[in-house]
């Protein structure tokens, strides 16, 4: 490895240790704040994955890309939404994260991921941050958003909210303009998703 690669490795170690001083030294010595691990992880993704808010804020201040989409599981914002990390989600949005950025392969957005994970508070933050609720994922593409290598079939976030969210989540999406008549690639609406997942009557009534 060359000297820069050595410093990139040192930066990842510093992030894993949560050592801001070492991270600063690595960057000052030539480390790339947007370096990628063999798995496509950046220092910012590493910091947020470990729940180290101060490290994440430090890296953003040094130029970390909040819209990095080179890891197939998602961008920093998407992963924060999926995990319900509201402090990180707010940090990324304030730093310019695109609330409507979609993954190239499957078309998933942060709003899809928050809905799949049942993260109502994250859904609200994303909607307040400009997330559009009527974006459809692609069709027939395997996704890391769902367990077991399942495929997406053109769902909107409301499909997933009807299947996995609560009344509050569904209401927030509808208030933001979500189309409850939107159909996936098989012609199924959010109401049919709510029925398939045996959701409470109150949820089903909202998407009728």
CA atoms of 155 and 89, how far apart (whole Å): 23
Alpha helices (H) along 50-197:
53-61, 76-83, 86-94, 110-116, 120-128, 157-164, 167-175, 190-196
Would you say residue 3 has pLDDT above 80?
no
**Nearest Cα to 141, choosing from 72, 38, 63?**
72
Would you say residue 103 has pLDDT above 60?
yes
pLDDT of residue 149: 79
Residues 136-186 pLDDT 10s: 999 999 999 998 879 999 999 999 999 999 999 999 999 999 999 999 999
Residues 10-47 pLDDT 10s: 999 999 999 999 999 999 999 999 999 999 999 999 99
Prediction pTM value: 0.93
CA atoms of 75 and 56, how far apart (whole Å): 14
Share of the chain above pLDDT 90, in %: 94
CB distance 162 to 193 below 8 Å: yes
Would you say residue 1 has pLDDT above 50?
no
Residues 48-80 pLDDT 10s: 999 999 999 999 999 999 999 999 899 999 999
CATH class of 102-208: mainly alpha
The mean per-residue pLDDT over the stretch 79-108 comes to 97
Please name the residue that has the structure tokens 């933050």.
125
């Amino acid at each position: 490895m060359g000297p820069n690669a050595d410093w990139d490795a040192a930066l990842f170690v510093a992030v894993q240790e949560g050592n801001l001083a070492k991270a600063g030294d690595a960057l000052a010595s030539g480390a790339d704040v947007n370096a990628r691990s063999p798995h496509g992880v950046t220092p910012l993704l590493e910091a947020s994955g470990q729940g180290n808010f101060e490290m994440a804020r430090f890296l953003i201040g040094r130029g970390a890309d909040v819209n990095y989409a080179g890891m197939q599981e998602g961008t920093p914002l998407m992963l924060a939404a999926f995990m319900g990390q509201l402090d990180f989600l707010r940090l990324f949005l304030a730093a310019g994260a695109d609330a409507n950025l979609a993954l190239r392969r499957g078309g998933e957005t942060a709003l899809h991921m928050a809905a799949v994970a049942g993260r109502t508070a994250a859904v609200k933050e994303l909607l307040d941050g400009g997330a559009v609720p009527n974006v459809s994922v692609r069709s027939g593409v395997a996704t890391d958003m769902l367990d077991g290598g399942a495929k997406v079939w053109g769902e909107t976030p409301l499909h997933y909210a009807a299947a996995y969210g609560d009344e509050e989540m569904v209401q927030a999406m509808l208030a933001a303009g979500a189309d409850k008549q939107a159909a996936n690639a098989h012609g199924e609406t959010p109401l049919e998703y709510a029925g398939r997942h045996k959701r409470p009557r109150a949820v089903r009534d909202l998407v009728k």
